[in-house]
Amino acid sequence: MMYFSEFTFFFMLHVAFAVRPQNTMDSSCSKTDLTSDNYYVRACSESPESYCPGREVDEDEQGEIFMSFLATLYGEKNAGKAFETHVDLNIIEHDPNDTQNRDDIVARLSEILAFANFSVLASSFSNNIGLAHLRLNQDPEPAALADIYRMEGTCIVEHWDVTQYRPANSTNPIAMF
């Protein structure tokens, strides 16, 4: 049996969702549809090398930055780039099986990326908190993961996750998803 964090990171790093460029933006920016509810992320060539340390921004821009993090982590499956660009060096990590060291977290995520198979079902951002709900496609039953991130301005500074396994004898056909 996997440890909680091994499952969580395994689940997080191999996402299957559509990433489609939009033709409605000028040449310096493009939009990417990341979720089933058509939340768009603006990816502009003038993006900073890193959003950390954080600076003050309004909630709309903060939400776009968070969705950019999700696109890099889940869409590109690039934990190193996602964390270097969006996550504070001193991230507060609440996973009991992880360290408080960002580089250790990135190394672990990067190893798991090649083996995971999952889908982002929903994502949301409000009041400095971003959420991603994912489905891990595994045998014999799928599992659900909720990743929760707290931002200070433009920078992700804290992370929680919750994992739920669907029992083989589940009576609810739409349980967890």
Render pLDDT for 139-159 as a digit per residue (tens, 0 to 9).
788 889 999 999 999 999 999
Mean pLDDT confidence for 24-39: 39
Q: Report pTM.
A: 0.73
Q: Are strands 29-33 and 118-126 parallel, antiparallel or unpaired?
A: unpaired
% of the chain with per-residue pLDDT over 70: 73
> Where does residue 128 fall: left (phi above 0), alpha (psi -120 to 50 degrees), or beta otherwise?
left
In this structure, the dihedral spanned by the alpha carbons of residues 31, 127, 107 and 6, taken in order and rounded to 10 degrees, is -110
Residue 23 has pLDDT above 90, yes or no: no
What integer pLDDT is reported at residue 9 of this predicted model? 36
In terms of C-beta density within 10 A (0-12 exposed, 13-18 middle, 19 or more buried), how is residue 29 classed?
middle
Inter-residue contact 136 to 117 (CB < 8 Å): yes
Residue 29 has pLDDT above 60, yes or no: no
What integer pLDDT is reported at residue 139 of this predicted model? 78
What integer pLDDT is reported at residue 95 of this predicted model? 86
Band (pLDDT 50/70/90 cuts) for residue 48 is low
What integer pLDDT is reported at residue 94 of this predicted model? 95
In terms of C-beta density within 10 A (0-12 exposed, 13-18 middle, 19 or more buried), how is residue 168 classed?
exposed
Asked: is 4-165 a CATH 3.40.50.720 domain? The reply is: no
Residue 6 has pLDDT above 90, yes or no: no
Inter-residue contact 94 to 159 (CB < 8 Å): yes
* Whole-number average pLDDT of the chain: 77
Of the listed ranges 89-98, 120-129, 154-163, the one predicted with least confidence = 89-98
Residue 3 has pLDDT above 50, yes or no: no
What integer pLDDT is reported at residue 11 of this predicted model? 35
What integer pLDDT is reported at residue 30 of this predicted model? 43
